[in-house]
Structure 1
Amino acid sequence: MLVLFETFVTVVESGSISKAAEQLTTTQPSVTRRVQLLEEEFGVPLFDRIGKRLILNKAGSLLFERAKLMLKNFSQVRDDIRMLDEADRGNILIGAGLTINQFVLPTFLYFFHKKYPKMTYKLVSGNSRHVLEKLLNYEIDVGLITTDIDHEAIERLPLKTSELVLIAPFATVFPERALLPDDLREHSLITYQQGTGFRRFIDELFKDIGLSQLPIRLETDSIEVMVKMVENEMGLAVVPKIAAAPPIAEQKVKPLTLQNFDFPKRSLSLIYRKVGFQAAAVERFIDELKAFQEWQ
């Protein structure tokens, strides 16, 4: 059908069967037959024939505009598909949590973009389960998660560990020693929202150290908001160390040390589909992520 549309558009734009045949490097009878096949398909004439002249009628004008659009779209699709085989250019859809997008990905993307300046990216934010769902639904190409989620269709590769830290408002006074759970019982928590992997992780953590009864002052889906609320003396929070480093350096918050307790580290993992077509640019992105020296 595509060749029929291409022939029809060429006839209209060139103004005659003979010129169209010349442009398409085919015979006039072949061009005439293609036009006839289109007219049979739609059940109406596309030209008014006055002597040897072909005058585009209303049906033909409608088809002409639509056929040009279809040919343009097909050409774009063809170019896009061909680009999928090019490893140094393409658009990569990345799913990750807000903290990863804000504090982890920029360093890698800076490195990757220097090597592959023709690449473009789309970052999609969500918790680890949402990222997994989007990956399974082909809404993203790769994901970066901090929850140990496994799925038979997904390859998960740990890249690095993320340290956690308990922070408090800088002006809050605590004993000048490693703290005991009792030293924190008069304080409130700023924590992640219910139903997320990070919230479950924090809840279990505070249960293990005997602080599960601490009142929750605020729940949010943003690590950045948690840090800001601690700065504003709303309570304590456990956050990734990388997110707390700037306000700690600026003496807006301070890290707390608990006696005989080290905060566990969380694993940052790359996830991608095990099977199915993968664009060459995405494969290159995955390979570079695996080899990135900053993870080591």
Structure 2
Amino acid sequence: MKIEQIEAFVYVALTGSFSKAGEILFLSQPSVSARVKSLENELGSTLFNRVGKNIILSKSGENFLPYAKEILHNVQSGKLAIQKENNKTEGKLVISSVLIAAYYILPQLFEKFQKAYPKVRLVIHTGHSHHVLEQVLNYEVPIGISRAVNHPLIETTHLMDDEMVLVIYPDHHFSSRKTVSIEEVAREPLILFNRSTYDWSLTYGVFKNLNIEPNVVMEVDSIEVIKRMVKKQVGIALLPRFSINEELAKNQLLKVNVLNIPQLNRNFELIHLKGATFEGIEKLFIDFIVNYFNRKSTNFYL
């Protein structure tokens, strides 16, 4: 019995698909099938049954699965223990992240992680929150970094939240003031996110709740494009505070406080399947990222 056979069996059981298991293991579907078949021959029992297009565990498969998981767990833990002893923690970790976090937040974290563990290779998939959620639900990645998620199969760990702030160009007539009213903001040319996005609902909802119709001159799906439009004095915008750090430092953009509006926070969370257990590099990374954000919670913008 080989560990590769057990690994193939576990991932087929978790995903319900030979092809998805192959994607995770970077194997062809026939290779996964061959490994499972060899394991079945060795055990003398069928581990999966086909019901229509679905692959489900047989009774033997259900009985064997917890032992197979424990074997993988012990092997991974053993490898990590030896790597730590030799100071050679290495391997590959695949995660999924919303693009905004990958662009503005994670580079600092990954820089520190790779300095601490230079032989760990990170593979990062990016997309919108629903893409990250789908990849976690489909066992394509073990963990994701997403906006706030509410799903019965998902467990979340809060990483950080960030406030949406009013951003203007230096020559704007608001630049000499510390605060402005929401009514004044509504009369200015505004650049908002596309209305199909969560950010549109968050920002436009502020005006809607106050029965104010904002002067929206443009809708954009990119923070970088919005910042460029503000710099070119096309309009002003509500943007995440962490996305304008560089521009604020260089005085290319300015932040102005807006009176009489609720705090607009955007939460970011670490997500994974409920009941999932993590060992090895996955646990190493989860502990690292949670500790990192706990340390940064009071001085993220410094």
**TM band (smaller chain):** 0.5 to 0.7
Counterparts in 2 of 1:187-226, with a 5 A limit? Answer: 187-220=188-221, 222-226=222-226
Q: Distance in 1 between matches of 2:203 and 2:142?
A: 29
Q: Distance in 2 between matches of 1:295 and 1:254?
A: 23
Query: Could you tell me how far 1:156 is from its partner in structure 2?
Result: 0.4
Counterparts in 2 of 1:31-70, with a 5 A limit? Answer: none
Query: Could you tell me how far 1:211 is from its partner in structure 2?
Result: 4.2
Q: Give identity over the alignment, percent.
A: 24
Post-superposition Cα deviations, 1:185-220, rounded to whole Å, max 9, x if no partner, equal: 332222222322222222223323554432241322
- SS class of match (2:180): coil
Query: Could you tell me how far 1:84 is from its partner in structure 2?
Result: 5.0
TM-score between both structures, scaled by the size of structure 1: 0.65
Counterparts in 2 of 1:1-296, with a 5 A limit? Answer: 85=77, 86-87=79-80, 88-146=89-147, 148-174=148-174, 176=177, 178-220=179-221, 222-261=222-261, 263-276=263-276, 278=278, 280-292=280-292, 293-295=295-297
Structure 1 pair 209–178 and aligned structure 2 pair: CA distance change class (3 A): farther
Q: Which has the higher Rg, Structure 1 or Structure 2?
A: 1
What's the C-alpha RMSD, in Å, of the aligned pairs? 2.8
Residues 127 and 196, structure 1, Cα contact 8 Å, conserved in 2? no
- SS class of match (2:187): coil
Q: Which runs of 5+ in 1 are unaligned?
A: 3-69, 75-80
Q: Which amino acid aligns with 2:225?
A: V
Structure 1 pair 163–215 and aligned structure 2 pair: CA distance change class (3 A): closer
Q: Which runs of 5+ in 2 are unaligned?
A: 3-30, 36-71, 81-88
Q: Distance in 2 between matches of 1:104 and 1:290?
A: 13
Q: Distance in 1 between matches of 2:75 and 2:227?
A: 42
Post-superposition Cα deviations, 1:92-147, rounded to whole Å, max 9, x if no partner, equal: 2222222211221112112221221111112222121221111111222221122x
Q: Distance in 1 between matches of 2:232 and 2:185?
A: 18
Structure 1 pair 216–93 and aligned structure 2 pair: CA distance change class (3 A): farther
Residues 163 and 264, structure 1, Cα contact 8 Å, conserved in 2? yes
Structure 1 pair 83–236 and aligned structure 2 pair: CA distance change class (3 A): farther
- SS class of match (2:219): strand
Residues 164 and 239, structure 2, Cα contact 8 Å, conserved in 1? yes
Query: Could you tell me how far 1:166 is from its partner in structure 2?
Result: 0.9
Q: Which amino acid aligns with 1:181?
A: I
Q: Distance in 2 between matches of 1:194 and 1:264?
A: 17
Residues 96 and 125, structure 1, Cα contact 8 Å, conserved in 2? yes
Q: Distance in 1 between matches of 2:75 and 2:191?
A: 46
Q: Distance in 2 between matches of 1:141 and 1:226?
A: 33
Post-superposition Cα deviations, 1:225-265, rounded to whole Å, max 9, x if no partner, equal: 22121111121211111111211222222112222335332
Post-superposition Cα deviations, 1:18-46, rounded to whole Å, max 9, x if no partner, equal: xxxxxxxxxxxxxxxxxxxxxxxxxxxxx
Q: Once structures 1 and 2 are overlaid, which stretch shifts more, 135-144 or 209-218? A: 209-218
Structure 1 pair 250–164 and aligned structure 2 pair: CA distance change class (3 A): same
Q: Distance in 1 between matches of 2:204 and 2:117?
A: 42
Q: Distance in 1 between matches of 2:210 and 2:107?
A: 34
TM-score between both structures, scaled by the size of structure 2: 0.64
